[in-house]
Amino acid sequence: MIPASPQDLAKALAEVGYLADEGLAIAGHLALRLGRPLFLEGDAGVGKTAFAQALADATGAHFVRLQCYEGLDASQALYDWDFPRQILHLRTVEAAAVAAGDKPDTAALEASLYDRRFLIARPLLAALERTPSVLLVDEIDRADDEFEAFLLEVLADAAITIPELGRIAAERPPLTVLTSNRTREVHDALKRRCLYHWVEHPSVKREVAILRSRLPEVTERLAAEVAEAIRRMRELDLIKPPGVAEALDWASALSALGADGLDRDVAAATLGAVLKYREDIERVRESEPWRT
């Protein structure tokens, strides 16, 4: 079900635990209404992946995720044949024929090996076969140029051709959400097919709301002080500025230690929950962003 307005979409997302800002709600609504892929770019940890999952939950669609990485090829993203099951089927048919004193029909046996039941659907095929579905192509910037070109073709046709089975087309094209952390520039040809939105880090107020929504055990004071300290960290020249996920991890760790506010010693001791580089931890300890 497609929400009637961006405001309705934002409300539906909030009901499944995702607090979207106005710009992201508008981009998501337009992608749903126009049937266009949505390209989300932004720093790691700002909620791009979580948005796609929440969009599927809010609209009742099936969620399919394709995680991209260097070397990903079409077969890993589309489909594969279940060779162990095919061999078992082959041996079973041959054994039954021998037991009956018959000779297997070679042509029929070969054709039966390439039945749909022996086909393993990888993410792209799964998204085409399930309706409605939200297809998340996560971190497309990590994939190779060749895979980008292939993905562009699949998105254009919303169909694939399997030589042994023929053409499989989506009854309704999946809503595709592509994400990028901008480790490299994605080709313009792919971006032109998509609606584009840059996902910003949340404001302090919205981050407090996210913390309180996801971690109800965290006090209002602790959530506010964590959000403010995280904001200050993002202004430092860090190797990996913290995202929302790290803010949640830090608040959860502090709460587990019984903190109801950002104590200097406890904050410094738990920086491993929010920062993942020694240089970043040293820089933050020197700047003490939790100071009031």
Question: Per-residue pLDDT averaged across 30-53, rounded?
Answer: 94
Q: Which residue is associated with the tokens 């659907």?
A: 121
Helix (H) or strand (E) holding 248: helix 244-256
Question: What rounded mean pLDDT belongs to the chain?
Answer: 92
The predicted model gives 18-41 an average pLDDT of: 96
Q: Quick one: pLDDT band at residue 263, thresholds 50, 70, 90?
A: confident
**Residue 208 has what pLDDT?**
96
Question: Which pLDDT value is given to residue 113?
Answer: 87
Least confident window among 94-98, 159-163, 284-288 = 94-98
pLDDT tops 90 at residue 235:
yes
Query: Does 292 have pLDDT greater than 80?
Result: no
**pLDDT on residue 157:** 87
Instruction: Compare 36 and 98 and report the one with higher pLDDT.
Output: 36
Q: What is the pLDDT of residues 87-138, one digit of tens each?
A: 998 888 888 877 777 777 777 778 888 888 999 999 999 999 999 999 999 9
Helix, strand, coil % (nearest 5) of the chain? 50, 15, 35
Residue 60, Ramachandran bin (φ over 0: left; ψ between -120 and 50: alpha; else beta): left
| Nearest in space to 52 (alpha carbons), one of 177, 182, 201 | 177
For position 49, what pLDDT does the model report? Answer: 95
Quickly state the pLDDT bin for 57 (edges 50, 70, 90): very high
Provide the 8-state DSSP code for 44.
T
CA distances to 114, 222, 238, 242, 277 from 265, rounded to whole Å, are: 64, 15, 21, 20, 19
- Alpha-carbon gap, residue 269 to 75, rounded angstroms: 46
- Report the pLDDT value the prediction gives residue 102, as an integer from 0 to 100: 77
- Going by C-beta distance under 8 Å and a sequence separation of 6 or more, which residues neighbour residue 19? 13, 202, 206, 209, 210, 213
Question: For the chain, how far is it from start to end, CA to CA, in angstroms?
Answer: 46
- Segment 189-210, tens digit of pLDDT: 899 999 999 999 999 999 999 9
pLDDT by residue (tens digit) across 62-83? 999 999 999 998 889 999 999 9
Query: The pTM is what?
Result: 0.88
Distance CA 69, CA 155 (A): 19
